[in-house]
Amino acid sequence: MGVPGTNPPPPGLAETELFAVDAYRTEFDATITEVDHEGGRIALSRTAFYPVGGGQPSDTGTLQTAAGALAVTGVRRERGTIWHTLAPDAGELPAVGAEVQGEIDWDRRHRLMRTHTALHILCGVIWADYSIPVTGGNMEPMKGRLDFPFPEMSTELGSQVERRINEEIARAHEIVVDFLPRSLADADPALIRTSANLIPQEIDPLRVIDIVGLDRQADGGTHVLSTAEVGGVRVVGTESKGKDNKRIRIEVVDAQGDTA
């Protein structure tokens, strides 16, 4: 279970989008609510599978049905519905109303959790040390990148940033998942800095990830409980992508410095 904040999730979310309130949940049961035969995908009454978004890839895993196991190869939200795409060899899809038992690929999920938190630490360090906001990013398990409007970029800066990230990891900051009313979120300088004010106004409350004492952002992804759980980070690349657009690439490693 993630560390809960002071504000509860909106009604129904905790019961249907399990990943939003408990990143450590790996199994669940559900009922099929929609079937897209042409697309080879199904929707469920509730799910622990994270749908691709915010630069974070979707979860993968399996759905156990009365006829056997189905491999989930991708998950995507479309017009409010979370679709679970099944492997091409799934055969005949189960019918609406069928019961399933879902299981997340935990190794992949946890690697993405560590990576996503590491990127938030990078974002927090750059803001704390240079007052520069993040402008974009992407990730896959155990590596990712963020873009910043630095006027210049250098390997020396990369080394400094790597040292600072690992300092913050070692401080074992608690990571809190909160749901902030929109009226408060829009007045929060930390959230405005990370473009939360660009999120549609109908999304209320906003889900906020707070690395206590370092970084606070509107975010829908999955994260670890403490920065210590990230392990360690190496800055493996610094690139100029044009004027005022510089990229920092990282890899997440275990606490001893070996790739996990």
The phi and psi torsions of 103 (rounded to 5 degrees) equal -140, 125
Per residue in 182-230, pLDDT (tens digit) is 888 888 877 877 666 667 888 889 999 999 999 999 999 999 999 999 9
pLDDT of residue 11: 87
pLDDT of residue 4: 73
Q: Decide if domain 3-104 falls under CATH 2.40.30.130.
A: yes
The phi and psi torsions of 213 (rounded to 5 degrees) equal 90, 0
Q: Residue 240 carries which DSSP code? A: E
Residue 247 has pLDDT above 50, yes or no: yes
Residue 257 has pLDDT above 70, yes or no: no
Taking the model in full, what pTM does it have? 0.94
CATH top class, domain 109-253: alpha beta
Provide mean pLDDT across the span 28-39: 97
Residue 260 has pLDDT above 50, yes or no: no
Residue 259 has pLDDT above 50, yes or no: no
**Residue 157 pLDDT grade (very low, low, confident, very high; cuts 50, 70, 90):** very high
pLDDT of residue 214: 96
Count Cβ atoms below 10 Å from residue 127 Cβ, excluding itself.
19
Shortest CA distance to 62 belongs to which of 98, 92, 90? 90
Domain positions in the chain are 3-104, 109-253
Shortest CA distance to 205 belongs to which of 223, 189, 186, 225? 186
Helix ranges (H only) for 55-134 are: 106-130
Residue 1 has pLDDT above 70, yes or no: no
Per residue in 102-133, pLDDT (tens digit) is 999 999 999 999 999 999 999 999 999 999 99
**Cα separation, 177 vs 213, whole angstroms:** 14
Using DSSP, state whether 14 is helix, strand or coil.
Answer: helix
Provide mean pLDDT across the span 68-92: 94
Encoded amino acid at 36, one letter: D
